[in-house]
Amino acid sequence: MKRALLVSGFLTAALSGCGITPLPGVVAVKASPASPSPSAAAFVPVYETPENKDLAAAENLLRENRLVQRWAEAANQGFVPPRNVSVTARQCDEINAFYNSEDPSITMCYEMADYLRKLFATPEKGVPKPDAKEADESALGAMSGIYFHELGHALIDLYDLPATGREEDAVDQLSALVLITTAEKQKDYSQIISTIETWGRISQEEAKLPLDQRDFADDHSLSRQRYYNMMCYLYGSNHNAFLPLVSEGELPVARAARCEEEYAKMSRAWTRLLEPHLRTDLPSPSPSTARPS
């Protein structure tokens, strides 16, 4: 039980409001009782100003919502890394997000935020066009899902964690686990839903193009598979609450029958992997009984 509470302490800290004022350039995380000491290594938030003026709106979206600070603080709530890890928002000249083990650093590209804003601003067939605020909120939620995926890569590298399957699938699981646990705590499932919807929309775009050898050889699962995997984890976390996913035909019954066990197994696996590396000065959170309507 202690192990589960420690992991829950990290997960429920994710995406919490940290009260940090955004500043240009490198932004240090403010000290708090649950933050590393000034002499300890930490996840450090960084904003770089893009040269491409078309990315200014994406930059402002991340800055105004203090998203990079909140990402770094969420990681610092759970871990003191063996060395500093920058969490950097910058222009990449491609739609991407990645972890670099040599720096080490997590890079969140403005191009990805810009792409997601446009993706969610485009109405789906038969659905009213969302307003700008709704599109931005969906983009922010999906960006957080991508960040926790990249944080998973960082944790595997920094702590030399084992992965018996494809690492890309494993860190998708961690991302889902963080978002779902946070949603249960905050009674707000918007981030995990935005992440699921992102893979669904991307897969619809990819369906217009023929698959080739590179798609099947890629170390990432196909976008449609990631869509169903994420949906399965959400359903498995509370099958009674998310029964409409199955009853309305979105999640196939054959897959849904295994989702509760899938979610439990991946939750136990990440708990065991992370427990030896979690900070021990975090207060144990009260068990959450919150469930979605």
pLDDT top residue among 283 and 29:
283
Residue 272 lies in a domain: yes
Orientation angle between helical segments 110-121 and 132-158, nearest 10 degrees = 140
Q: Is residue 56 part of a domain?
A: yes
- Note whether residue 283 is domain-resident: no
**How many residues are there in the chain?**
293
The rounded distance, in Å, linking the Cα atoms of 134 and 239 is 27
The string of pLDDT tens digits covering residues 199-255 is 999 988 877 777 776 766 666 778 899 999 999 999 999 999 999 999 999 999 999
Query: Got the DSSP string for the chain?
Result: -HHHHHHHHHHHHTT----PPP-SSB-PPPP-TTSPPTTS--EEEEE---S-GGGHHHHHHHHHTTHHHHHHHHHHHH---SS-EEEEEE--SSS-EEEETTTTEEEEEHHHHHHHHHHHHSPPTTSPPPPHHHHHHHHHHHHHHHHHHHHHHHHHHHTT---SS-HHHHHHHHHHHHHHHHHHHHT--HHHHHHHHHHHHHHHHHTTS---HHHHHSSSPPHHHHHHHHHHHHHHH-TTTTTHHHHTTSS-HHHHHHHHHHHHHHHHHHHHHHGGGS-S-SPPPPPP-----
Q: Rounded to whole angstroms, how far apart are CA atoms 177 and 188?
A: 14
What is the pLDDT confidence band of residue 289, given thresholds at 50, 70 and 90?
Answer: very low
Residue 282 lies in a domain: no
Residue that wins the pLDDT comparison between 172 and 28: 172
Residue 182 pLDDT greater than 50, yes or no: yes
Task: Give the structural domain span for 144.
Answer: 2-277
Does any domain span residue 185? yes
Q: Does residue 166 fall inside a structural domain?
A: yes
Best CA proximity match to 289, nearest among 187, 177, 174, 175: 187
pLDDT at 149 exceeding the cut of 60: yes
- For the record, the structure tokens of 262 come out as 């899938």
pLDDT, position 124: 77
pTM flag (> 0.85): no
The answer to the question of residue 239 being in a domain is yes
Q: Which two tokens stand for residue 216?
A: 């099947």
Q: Is the pLDDT of residue 37 over 70?
A: no
The neighbouring-strand residues paired with 26 are: 46
| Percentage of residues in the chain having pLDDT higher than 70 | 80
Q: Other C-beta atoms within 10 Å of 263: how many?
A: 22
The pLDDT value recorded for residue 173 is: 96
Residue 284 lies in a domain: no
C-alpha span between 239 and 79 (Å, rounded): 31
User: How many domains does the chain contain in total?
Assistant: 1
- The residues facing 86 across adjacent strands are 44, 105
Structure tokens at 129: 């066009």
- Statement: residue 281 has pLDDT above 60: yes
